[in-house]
Each structure stands twice: as structure tokens, then as C-alpha cells.
Amino acid sequence: MTSKEELEKRHELEMIRIEKVMNLAKDEKLGKIKGGEQMVAFVDEDACIGCDQCPTVCDDNAIEMFSKPLKNPLIEVSSNRKARILRDECTGCRLCVLICPTDAISMIER
Ligand code: SF4
Ligand code: SF4
């Protein structure tokens, strides 16, 4: 029978393997996104769910959250937050594009 230690070791190795695969996928995705000084991040407000992840990863304080009234009056939501890019602060690093869970952020030409 498999011991507890063996199971823990297997679990640890599997976590390392998964992390490697995730990092490779991230690098691959990053490689496909054009960034740099000539580019600036853009948020599709309709796709943004206000999760607060992009301002957390942005090292340049180039993203602010704001409240936007809901389009549908049937749904009662006290705070409908959205992200907004501060164009002058954005350095085009692309980190926010990677982190956004709804693919609401893209890079556009300045
Ligand atoms: S591209 Fe980089 S600097 Fe620009 S908003 Fe996104 S995380 Fe911030
Ligand atoms: S990470 Fe995406 S969904 Fe979350 S607040 Fe930023 S733009 Fe909106």
C-alpha cells in the first residue's frame, strides 16, 4: 500500500509539474501579445467583472477602478466596478492582459 509520505511526495512533484506547465503557457501567451512603449492597455468595460486583479499586478499604478451604473435595472447590485487604464502611466508591460480572467484587457497602439 502507498504510504502517506509517498503520496505527499507524489503530490509535491505533481504541483511542480503543473506550475511548470502553467508558466510555459503564460510565456507562450505573453509572447503573442504585443507590448512596449508604443502600446497601451485597453479595457473592454462590458467584459470586465471588476475582480480587482489587474490593479494588483500593475506595478505602474496605471489602472484605477470606478463604479458604473448597471445597464439592466432588474438586477440590483450595489457596486458595479470596472477597471480603467490611465494611459500616461501605462508602460505597455502586458501583465494585466495575462491576469485578467475574462480577457477584458487588450493592448492597442498608442
Ligand atoms: S500594460 Fe502593464 S503598465 Fe499598462 S496597465 Fe497593464 S499592467 Fe499596468
Ligand atoms: S482583471 Fe479584468 S475583469 Fe478583473 S478588474 Fe481587471 S479588467 Fe476587470
pLDDT tens digits, one per residue of 28-77 = 888 888 888 999 999 999 999 999 999 999 999 999 999 987 766 676 66
- 52 lies in the same domain as 101: yes
Q: Which atom of ligand 1 is nearest to the CA of 63?
A: 5
Judgement on whether residues 42 and 28 belong to the same structural domain of the protein: no
Of 3, 91, 96, residue with least CA distance to 39: 91
26 plus 45 within the same structural domain: no
Q: Looking at the structure, do residues 42 and 25 belong to the same domain, yes or no?
A: no
Burial 3-18 (b: 16+ CB within 10 A, else e): eeeeeeeeeeeeeeee
Which CATH number belongs to the domain containing residue 71 in this structure?
Answer: 3.30.70.20
Range of the domain at 27: 1-32
Ligand 1 mean position, distance from CA 86 (Å): 9
What's the structural domain count of the chain?
A: 2
CA of 44 to the centre of ligand 2 (A): 9
For residues 64 and 49, state if they share a domain.
yes
Ligand nearest to the CA of 54: 2
| Residues 70 and 19 reside in one and the same domain | no
According to the model, what pLDDT value does residue 73 have? 67
